[in-house]
A and B are shown apart, each in its own frame.
Chain A
């Protein structure tokens, strides 16, 4: 694994505009940055990242099977008991899952370590799936990358294929908090993929969802929402006004309710407890667990629900060195051993390893000079060159 400077395409911003990649340069600051790329060998991709990701899927599946009837865990996630049977039924029915993203730290030599699992509302999908692939094609055509260069990326194809898991006879509704540009664009891209699978998609803002007298969710035209893709976290939905109606409604949810069990950093101590010493895990405990003292004075504290690095606190020798602000400061936290400090050219990459259904499907890399990957961290493309 190397970080290699590379000439950027002179017209990449025009391409971003053309393709609707509207958040490539938010506020004039680079989010997409192709002045460098990460280079892997095929062995690193297949043996370390792909195999490690499959391993994490298996671990998470094993944990979900236990967690679904673990009242202590469900309470820890602040899931009201009125949802427990619904979640269990979703698991028992094998409600299909669409996607997820494991965030890994990897140095090219040692097994990748799990930082967190974005099981419910992962973003940075379009740039990983499409814009990154175009970058590879263009750089090969320009002779900047060798003809045999490749990329760990079958996201687009697998997404389209996976959308066939839901029936196409009815409308597929897709929702998000649409005032948020990145969320909106991610859902629009998902809608393209669903359309490629033959779905007729209706996009609607999360607040536009209606609830009729029969307990059915409906769209703005009062059509029943039979299947709903949501880029909106489960832990928010269940505590909002309409949340109580979800278990009684016939709507099929994407992601399914059982994903609530995994879309939390609370899985980190649970996975560690289930499989201590696993090479793809970092030692983790709930804050306040006396066993956490085993980690020592270098560790990171993470709220069980947080996004984009908000409220993640890193301590070295017991002293807080980084603690980005955010809205999750009142939530319970987990304590995780510090990941190996992987630095390339002064930048710290985090590998987002995507799964579609449960299959590894590609990676997207975000890097930051700081210790926490946040919402200003850049997306850097990658290539496989042997």
Chain B
């Protein structure tokens, strides 16, 4: 029985099967495809209100890239130092911080570290009481130093166990066994 209100495929499909008839003489639409992108492209679309600055992207084409900002929250020294090495992370947490915010402008360069406090819900607040919103408007700054993965790859913690490990009433390693058993295959399609 077909679901009357599907979450997918809401549009009525065409009354098929019939040979698809293409109207070759249809007038060409005035609007090209990437309407959301506009002439300046998706980099600008992702700026989210942050001003454009000449980027040092080395294109050699005389072009410029809009600059970007990135901010992340770390809740441990290890998370913080995975993003920015140096004494700031340890100092912040040694001072009692439960979370720090890391920010930088541009896709390279140092991160600044500030202490955060817990706000309503899962929000974090700066020392000035302003919400600290993690975001990344860089197209991809996914260098190994800017992203922290809990467990597995980057943390140095083992995720290779096949039996659940348990501490403080929490079991782990209950997912991932199939991937591990597939030595060289990809999970994506």
Question: How many angstroms between the C-alpha atoms of A189 and B147 in the bound complex?
Answer: 10
Q: Which residue of A lies closest to B171 (CB)?
A: A211
Q: Which residue of B lies closest to A103 (CB)?
A: B189
Q: Which residue of A lies closest to B107 (CB)?
A: A18
Question: How many angstroms between the C-alpha atoms of A152 and B122 in the bound complex?
Answer: 37
> Is B9 touching A358 in the complex (CB atoms < 8 A)?
yes
The one of B2, B122, B177, B186 that contacts A240, using a Cβ cutoff of 8 Å: B177
B132 to A: closest C-beta gap in Å = 9
Interface size class of A (residues with CB under 8 A): 35 or more
Q: Which residue of A lies closest to B45 (CB)?
A: A157
Question: How many angstroms between the C-alpha atoms of A221 and B75 in the bound complex?
Answer: 9
Which of chain B's residues have a CB closer than 8 A to the CB of A275?
A: 16-17
Which of chain A's residues have a CB closer than 8 A to the CB of B124?
A: 200
Tell yes or no: B96 within 8 A of A by CB. Answer: no
Question: How many angstroms between the C-alpha atoms of A151 and B160 in the bound complex?
Answer: 42
Interface size class of B (residues with CB under 8 A): 35 or more
Q: Which residue of B lies closest to A384 (CB)?
A: B33
- Provide the B98-122 mask, 1 if CB < 8 A to any CB of A, else 0: 0000000001000000000000011
Known: A57-B11, A65-B3. A178 touches B121 (CB 8 A): no
Which of chain B's residues have a CB closer than 8 A to the CB of A138?
A: 59, 61, 63
Q: Which of A3-50 contact B (CB under 8 A)?
A: 9-11, 14-15, 18-22, 42-43, 45-48
> Is A327 touching B185 in the complex (CB atoms < 8 A)?
yes
Tell yes or no: A95 within 8 A of B by CB. Answer: yes
> Is A55 touching B14 in the complex (CB atoms < 8 A)?
yes
Question: How many angstroms between the C-alpha atoms of A148 and B30 in the bound complex?
Answer: 12
Tell yes or no: A288 within 8 A of B by CB. Answer: no
- Provide the A156-181 mask, 1 if CB < 8 A to any CB of B, else 0: 11101000000001110000111110
Q: Mind listing 15 A-B residue pairs with CB under 8 Å? A: A9-B59, A15-B57, A42-B32, A66-B1, A93-B7, A152-B33, A195-B134, A195-B136, A196-B136, A200-B124, A209-B172, A232-B187, A240-B175, A276-B17, A327-B185
- Beyond A94-B5, A118-B188: 5 further Cβ-contacts under 8 Å? A19-B139, A22-B142, A153-B37, A196-B48, A307-B187
